[in-house]
Amino acid sequence: MSKFNRDIDITRNIRMISWLKSELLTDVAALFKQLVNGVKEDALDVLAETISNLIIVCYLLAKRLGINYQTVDLKMEDKLKLGMIEGHDLEKWYGDLSDLSKHLDISRNKAKSK
């Protein structure tokens, strides 16, 4: 690959990282704006869409920064396990960390079986 093409690719990657950072901030702002009105039944779909956008942008940003999706997944698993071991309040009070860990395991197993 010529130096010119490599420079273009680096520039394109930097632009994409900047765009993803902007998307991340925009989605976080949208989430906060939606939450100002409270969590209402008719707004759950919009909240779910915003949260899913945040998750997608985080995965894509990681990839652009040189972190593969599997590494992100493994780090999430480690954080969930640590939170369960340390008795994080979300786990003690609601069992959320265990639930999320199970969900990720089920999703991963479904993907493997396809």
- The verdict on 79 and 111 lying in the same domain is yes
Residue 49, domain extent: 1-67
Boundary-marking domain end, from 50, 67, 84: 67
Q: 34 and 63: one domain?
A: yes
Both 51 and 20 in one domain: the answer is: yes
Angle, CA of 12, 19 and 57, to the nearest 5°:
110
Give the tokens for residue 50: 């915003």
Instruction: Indicate the pTM of the whole model.
Output: 0.86
Q: Within this chain, do residues 25 and 61 fall inside the same structural domain, yes or no?
A: yes
For residue 41, what pLDDT is reported? 84
Residues 6 and 40 in one domain: yes
Residues in contact with 23: Cβ distance below 8 Å, sequence separation at least 6, in sequence order: 53, 57
Same domain, 56 and 17: yes
**Mean pLDDT of each 10-residue bin along the chain, 114 residues long:** 71 95 97 90 91 98 96 96 96 96 89 78
How many structural domains are present in the chain? Answer: 2
For residue 108, what are the CA distances in angstroms to 37, 44, 51, 70?
Answer: 35, 25, 20, 11
- What pLDDT score was predicted for residue 1? 56
> How many CA atoms does the CB half-sphere of 34 hold within 13 Å?
19
**Looking at residue 111, what is its pLDDT?**
80
pLDDT at 28: 98
